[in-house]
């Protein structure tokens, strides 16, 4: 059980070759700082793709020494993104990271049928939060990719997130399927989906985890709340992964945790042929660094 995001670094075997990370449109301050930290800590081998002049000037301004790293000079953002995605597609890099470019631009390239990173699986976004008031790290999905996921989409989102948690040593993560209430209501689709997902898990249609829902947010993360409401659940109060009913709920929770609760966060796009670091433009260099740690373990 992990409480701190920096504990993920302990899982990385630095005796093995470093993962190669392609940073698309590299002249981004927080991305450069995060990549530099991961580089100097022996975690990744960076390839900085973008305007070499702008990137070098920014690195100098920030006091970052990228001696030994690779640079590819491509000042046109769309072309830099394509080069980064092609590099990962061709096996010349292991991780794709978004720099100073809009998320839709990089995802469009990822989904390119010829040289993208399609794998046949649904792409979904997983954030892992370190919250002082919770007893372990907690995942939140999906807050950035799937707008109004169907039941089929939710199954794929759970499978993506559970597979990642399995990789970092959590054998049977507990998944709380969120709704506004913890009872099934035929007028609330999120509660119907939650009940179906829970039953599918019981019948081994969704495996390597424990799924319960519908659960409201308070009883998903608080044993006291669950007891007060008479909820009997293996998941309530000990959740590893919160499954969002839709992107609006997920986005509001994400930003509430970051801005109100001052939580630390790492994020990754799952389901592609390689890990993709896609963070918010307002995320700190620490958040981007933790996201690189996530990717290096993915």
Indicate the pairing of strand 138-141 with strand 210-215: unpaired
Q: Identify the pLDDT of residue 18.
A: 92
Whole-number Å distance between alpha carbons of 7 and 134: 16
Residue 50 CA to residue 77 CA, distance in Å, equals 7
Provide the pLDDT for residue 283: 76
Query: What is d(CA 177, CA 162) in angstroms, rounded to the nearest whole number?
Result: 13
Percent of the chain scored above 90 by pLDDT? 90
Q: So what's the pLDDT on residue 15? A: 82
CATH of domain 5-119+272-297: 3.40.50.10950
Q: What is the pLDDT of residue 284?
A: 82
pLDDT at 274: 96
Cβ-count burial of 171 within 10 angstroms (0-12 exposed, 13-18 middle, 19+ buried)?
Answer: exposed
Please list the residue range(s) of the chain that carry CATH number 3.40.50.10950: 5-119+272-297
Share of the chain above pLDDT 70, in %: 99
Per CATH, the number for 124-259 is 3.40.718.10
Q: Could you tell me the two tokens for 72? A: 């590819």
In angstroms, the CA 26 to CA 61 distance is: 14
In the block, residue with structure tokens 């030994």: 68
* Entry pTM: 0.94
Rounded to 5 degrees, φ, ψ at 188 are -120, 100
Q: How confident is the model at residue 153 (pLDDT cuts 50, 70, 90)?
A: very high
Q: Which two tokens stand for residue 255?
A: 């930003």
264 CB contacts (<8 Å, ≥6 apart)? Answer: 5, 129, 130, 286, 287, 290
CATH 3.40.718.10 domain span(s) along the chain: 124-259
> Which residue do the tokens 């302990």 mark?
10
Assign 222 a pLDDT band (cuts: 50, 70, 90).
very high
Structure confidence at residue 23 (pLDDT): 98
């Amino acid at each position: 059980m992990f409480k701190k995001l920096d504990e993920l670094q302990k899982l990385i075997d630095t005796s093995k070759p470093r993962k190669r990370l392609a940073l698309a449109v590299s002249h981004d301050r927080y991305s450069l700082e995060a990549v530099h930290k991961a580089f100097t800590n022996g975690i990744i081998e960076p390839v900085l793709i973008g305007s070499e002049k702008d990137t070098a000037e920014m690195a100098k301004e920030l006091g970052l020494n990228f001696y030994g790293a690779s640079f590819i000079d491509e000042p046109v953002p769309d072309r830099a993104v394509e080069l980064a995605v092609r590099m990962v597609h061709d096996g010349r890099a292991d991780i794709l990271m978004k720099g100073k470019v809009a998320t839709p631009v990089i995802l469009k390239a990822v989904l390119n049928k010829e040289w993208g990173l399609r794998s046949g699986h649904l792409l979904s976004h997983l954030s892992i939060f370190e919250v002082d008031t919770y007893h372990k790290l907690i995942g939140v999905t999906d807050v950035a990719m799937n707008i109004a996921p169907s039941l089929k989409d939710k199954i794929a989102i759970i499978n993506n997130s559970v597979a990642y948690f399995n990789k970092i040593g959590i054998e049977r993560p507990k998944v709380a399927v969120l709704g506004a209430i913890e009872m099934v209501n035929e007028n609330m689709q999120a509660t119907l989906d939650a009940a179906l997902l829970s039953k599918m898990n019981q019948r081994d249609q969704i495996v390597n985890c424990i799924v319960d829902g519908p659960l409201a947010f308070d009883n998903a993360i608080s044993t006291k709340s669950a007891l007060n409401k008479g909820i009997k659940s293996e998941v309530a109060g000990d959740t590893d992964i919160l499954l969002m009913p839709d992107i609006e709920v997920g986005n509001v929770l994400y930003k509430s945790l970051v801005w109100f609760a001052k939580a630390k966060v790492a994020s990754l796009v799952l389901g592609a042929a390689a890990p993709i670091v896609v963070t918010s433009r307002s995320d700190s260099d620490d958040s981007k660094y933790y996201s690189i740690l996530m990717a290096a373990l993915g």
